[in-house]
């Protein structure tokens, strides 16, 4: 049987059903009017005589309002409204015709109301019963007994889908919800049995096999609390996607997934001014240095969708550059020209030639060395890449008329305790100095750790867990700010658009997270128990590592921006450590190439400390400096 024939047959059956309900409702109207007893012959004869007209008028109204098009399996409030409109319109038209034909002789005054009520009941009742039967049909199968956390919109849609799709093997038993007004209520026949704090008790009382978290708008802190309660209950748990991932307003069984690290460490969904971002980047020539890195590659992906006139990828890593180029070209992007350059940002001659040829209007400088322990004894490499590379790129942007230069910095540049942070702070000062003297708008964007970026703690923990442990944490109290790579890049682009020049934008990183907690949750998400299945070993702080990071200097005056997730910091006075006078920066930059050529660590340490006066070299650096 073809789908076309099935569809025609289904609609015909629905229409015939609705037609059959008309004489039934008409007869019930007269029967009820005369107290469920004998109908006088004159009224009965007139009712039978009027029946063909009633069938014609009401059938036409049903057809006009499309009642035959509704699918009974998914009957809803919308169908009930449509039935009411069709019945009301048809009844009004029928009364008008009866008045014209016979002045409504032998038509009881109560007939219009009774006829309307019986029609609605006879049309809507079978539809709703059919849906209820399908949702509640007994298949005598066995499934996992499910506790649903959250009786809001997502929970309602989820339980509806579970009841509809019994083949999925889930049997919703109860809800848990924190809102007092919902306690004791029923959602699609499933009762709300208590607050979320009682999840362990509800699991035990009702013999729950699986917990489903239907709270897509939950904050990271709330999700952490719920996950802790689920872990205390000792049962597996799943979650629906976050709001930003729910595209069609649906929550279905096939969308359930394990709780991810992003759920626990993520933040509230970020709303961006995409119109403004696209206006600022569309039809522009945009250059991204470090385009093959974690941040650089994601920046390229998102800029690509803003339709720049040309996107220029710069990276010194051949494979990384090849990967992002291939990904972008395969994703389409009609009308966007792509160029890629395999070069080192410290190669002044090549950078100059690149800018002269391409004339980029917006530059995102993400190329940098960032591994804290590695750079502690590699000060020459750190200065060469992070400072000299920034200077070369920034000065080329000034000479060749770039409109904006966005430096991607880090929270480790604030009161730096390591070489990496100090060189990134030096890079910030280079851009501030050039911004005072050039037409190009220089902007700095600071943020903390990025989940999943190359070299971050998350991939290391994953490798350690896969090997069976131990998971190594430097200190039980160490904490860091976290955000996802896409979110960081979106906020970078937002800051680039709203910046007027000279600002340091700081991304709202939410609450800091203890690395110990991160390790524990990653072990649990892998189905293991911290300390029992996989031990956590504390190894001590590494060289240059702080217990916590900062986003602002105390001397920086920071203020909100038009975007709630971005704050702007401006240095206060030239004498503060956050904004030293211009002369030391220019002097250090003038001496840097020769110092790098001599490769004298003591000289390089002194040069860096003279610019970043709040950096205190580690004992290892001091020993070498005093030799």
* Active site residues per annotation: 412
Please provide the size of the chain in residues.
627
> Which sign does the torsion angle of CA 522, 525, 531, 534 carry?
negative
Is residue 395 a contact partner of residue 434, using CB atoms and an 8 Å limit? Answer: yes
- Which residue from 476, 419, 284, 458 is spatially nearest to 364, judged by alpha carbons? 284
Are the CB atoms for 306 and 278 separated by under 8 Å?
Answer: yes
> Which among 350, 305, 303, 297 has a CA at the least distance from the CA of 326?
297
d(CA 477, CA 517): 10
In contact, 115 and 26? CB cutoff 8 Å: yes
Integer Cα distance of 342 and 209 in angstroms: 55
Alpha-carbon separation of residue 121 from 28, 85, 105, 159, 269 (angstroms): 12, 14, 26, 27, 44
Strand partners, 443: 406
Alpha-carbon distance of 486 to 499, in angstroms, equals 20
Residues forming beta bridges with residue 338, ordered by sequence position: 311
Reading phi first (left if > 0) and then psi (alpha if -120 to 50, else beta), residue 188 is in left
Contact in structure between 443 and 495 (CB atoms under 8 Å):
yes
Alpha-carbon distances, residue 181 vs 152, 178, 192, 197 (angstroms): 12, 9, 11, 16
SS3 146: strand
Q: Is the dihedral of CA 45, 47, 50, 51 positive or negative?
A: negative
Residues 229 and 426: beta-carbon distance below 8 Å: no
What are the C-alpha distances in Å from 544 to residues 372, 409, 415, 450?
7, 17, 12, 19
Find, among 245, 230, 235, the residue nearest to 199 by Cα: 230
Pick from 336, 280, 319, 331: nearest CA to 493: 280
Asked if residue 470 has a cis previous peptide bond (ω within 30° of 0), the answer is: yes
Cα distance between residue 514 and residue 80, in whole Å: 53
């Amino acid at each position: 049987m073809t789908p076309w024939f099935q569809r025609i047959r289904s609609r015909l059956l629905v229409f015939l059903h609705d037609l059959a309900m008309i004489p039934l409702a008409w007869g019930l109207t007269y029967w009820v009017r005369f107290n469920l007893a004998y109908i006088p012959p004159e009224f009965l004869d007139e009712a039978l005589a009027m029946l063909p007209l009633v069938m014609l008028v009401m059938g036409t109204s049903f057809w006009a309002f499309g009642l035959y098009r509704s699918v009974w399996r998914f009957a809803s409030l919308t169908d009930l409204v449509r039935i009411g409109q069709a019945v009301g319109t048809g009844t009004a038209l029928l009364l008008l015709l009866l008045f014209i034909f016979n002045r409504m002789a032998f038509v009881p005054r109560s007939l219009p109301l009774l006829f309307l009520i019986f029609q609605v009941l006879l049309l809507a009742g079978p539809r709703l019963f059919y849906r209820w039967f399908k949702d509640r049909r007994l298949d005598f199968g066995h499934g996992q007994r499910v506790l649903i956390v959250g009786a809001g919109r997502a929970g309602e849609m989820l339980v509806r889908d579970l009841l509809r799709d019994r083949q999925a093997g889930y049997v919703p038993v109860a809800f848990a919800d924190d809102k007092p007004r919902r306690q004791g209520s029923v959602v699609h026949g499933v009762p709300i049995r208590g607050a979320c704090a009682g999840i362990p008790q509800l699991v035990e009382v009702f013999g729950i096999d699986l917990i489903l978290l239907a709270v897509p708008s939950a904050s990271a802190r709330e999700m952490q609390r719920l996950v802790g309660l689920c872990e205390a209950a000792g049962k597996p748990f799943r979650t629906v996607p976050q709001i930003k991932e729910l595209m069609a307003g649906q929550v279905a069984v096939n969308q359930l997934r394990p709780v991810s690290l992003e759920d626990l460490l993520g933040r509230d969904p970020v709303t961006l001014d995409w119109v403004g971002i696209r206006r600022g980047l569309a039809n522009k020539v945009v250059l991204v240095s470090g385009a093959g890195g974690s941040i650089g590659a994601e920046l390229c992906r998102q800029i690509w969708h803003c339709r720049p006139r040309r996107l220029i990828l710069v990276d010194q890593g051949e494979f990384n550059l090849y990967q992002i180029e291939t990904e972008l070209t395969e994703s389409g992007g009609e009308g966007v020209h792509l160029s890629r350059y395999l070069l080192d940002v410290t190669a002044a001659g090549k950078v100059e030639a690149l800018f002269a040829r391409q004339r980029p209007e917006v530059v995102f400088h993400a190329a940098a060395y960032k591994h804290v322990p590695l750079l502690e004894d590699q000060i020459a490499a750190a200065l060469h890449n992070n400072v000299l590379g920034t200077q070369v790129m920034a000065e080329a942007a000034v000479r060749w008329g770039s409109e904006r230069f966005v430096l991607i910095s880090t929270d480790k540049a604030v009161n730096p305790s390591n070489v990496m942070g100090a060189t990134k702070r030096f890079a910030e000062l280079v851009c501030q100095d050039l911004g005072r003297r050039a037409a190009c708008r220089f902007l700095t964007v600071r943020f903390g750790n990025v989940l999943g970026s190359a070299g971050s703690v998350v991939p290391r923990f994953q490798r350690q867990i896969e090997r069976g442990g131990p998971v190594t944490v430097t200190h039980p109290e160490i904490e860091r700010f976290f955000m996802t790579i896409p979110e960081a890049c979106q906020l970078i682009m937002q800051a680039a658009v709203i910046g007027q020049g000279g600002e340091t934008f700081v991304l709202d990183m939410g609450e800091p997270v203890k690395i110990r907690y991160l390790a524990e949750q990653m072990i649990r998400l892998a189905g293991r128990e911290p300390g029992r299945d996989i031990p956590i070993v504390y190894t001590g702080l590494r060289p240059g590592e702080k217990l916590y990071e900062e986003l602002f200097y105390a001397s920086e005056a920071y203020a909100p921006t038009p975007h709630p997730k971005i704050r702007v910091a401006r240095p206060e006075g030239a004498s503060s450590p956050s904004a030293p006078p211009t002369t030391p920066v220019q002097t250090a930059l003038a001496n840097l190439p020769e110092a790098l050529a001599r490769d004298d660590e003591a000289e390089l340490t002194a040069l860096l400390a003279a610019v970043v006066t709040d950096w205190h070299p580690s004992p290892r650096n001091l020993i070498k400096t005093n030799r």
